[in-house]
Amino acid sequence: MLDFDQADSSGSETKDRKLKLYSYWRSSCAHRVRIALTLKGLEYEYIPVNLIKGGQFDPDFKEINPMGTVPALADGDVVISDSFAIIMYLDEKYPEPPLLPRDLHKRAVNYQASSIVLSGIQPHQNLAVIRYIEEKINTEEKTAWVNNAITKGFTALEKLLVNCAGKYATGDEVCLADLFLAPQINGAINRFQINMEPYPTLTKIYESYNDHPAFQNAVPEKQPDAPSTI
């Protein structure tokens, strides 16, 4: 269940008052925000919400996010849920380094890639959905469902990015799309055992994420609520 007093911090230099991030170690949506916070050099308090034990349904947490999902961010009295809204808020409040390229086409590709992950893939692999399929049908159907969603999304992303990727998704600077892609690829590989061979562009940019400190710090196994053996 929720433990509002259990706090850990990460990130680098402090700016303004301390932000609070409601997170779960294995949540790909919270993972996106963890990368953004560290990229922007923002220190934050990590408040774990245990999704397996039902912390998202705790009335105290539902006051923070009535959708019963992580992440949520509290910036003083300002409370925002939904990773996209949080990341845009942070980018507007802390513009350096910027997450959106000036080039309008590249910017649109960033929105498109982020949207494929946030509305075309993640909702299909979300805990509530896969639990439902497993309970109502069986484990094989759950696995097939998730594989289908990830394969469809990754095929589209590979085609979208093959001609514009550099070190990262849309060039040699980290941009919005990378914050969505890194957690999604990480989960596909480590949680859902997806074969990445058909996606050489995604595989190449994932290697760059693994070399970048802000991405390294945000991975599930480094979070304070991660189990000691995964």
Which residues of this chain interact with ligand GSH, rule CB under 6 A?
27-29, 51, 56, 69-71, 82-84, 118, 126-128
Q: CB-wise, 116 or 165, nearer to ligand GSH?
A: 116
Give the pair of three-digit tokens for residue 58. 């705790």
Tallying the residues shown for the chain, one arrives at 230
Match 């095929």 to its residue by tokens: 155
Could you tell me if 58 and 68 are in contact, meaning their C-beta atoms sit under 8 angstroms apart?
Answer: no
Q: CB-wise, 165 or 194, nearer to ligand GSH?
A: 194
Angle at the Cα of 42 (from 180 to 208), degrees rounded to 5?
40
Match 């991975």 to its residue by tokens: 219
How far apart are alpha carbons 218 and 17 in whole angstroms?
Answer: 21
Q: CB-wise, 12 or 190, nearer to ligand GSH?
A: 190
Q: CB-wise, 38 or 56, nearer to ligand GSH?
A: 56
Match 């394969």 to its residue by tokens: 151
The residue type of 73 is: L
97 preceded by cis ω (within 30°)?
Answer: yes
Residue 126: its H or E element: none
Give the pair of three-digit tokens for residue 133. 């399929």
Q: CB-wise, 184 or 201, nearer to ligand GSH?
A: 184
Q: CB-wise, 84 or 209, nearer to ligand GSH?
A: 84
Return the exposure string of 97-131: e unless at least 16 CB atoms fall within 10 Å of the residue's CB, then b. eebbbeeeebbebbeebbebbbeebbebbbeebbe
Q: What minimum distance in Å lies between the beta carbon of 149 and ligand GSH?
A: 13
Contacts of 84 (CB under 8 A, 6+ apart): 114, 118
Q: CB-wise, 78 or 128, nearer to ligand GSH?
A: 128
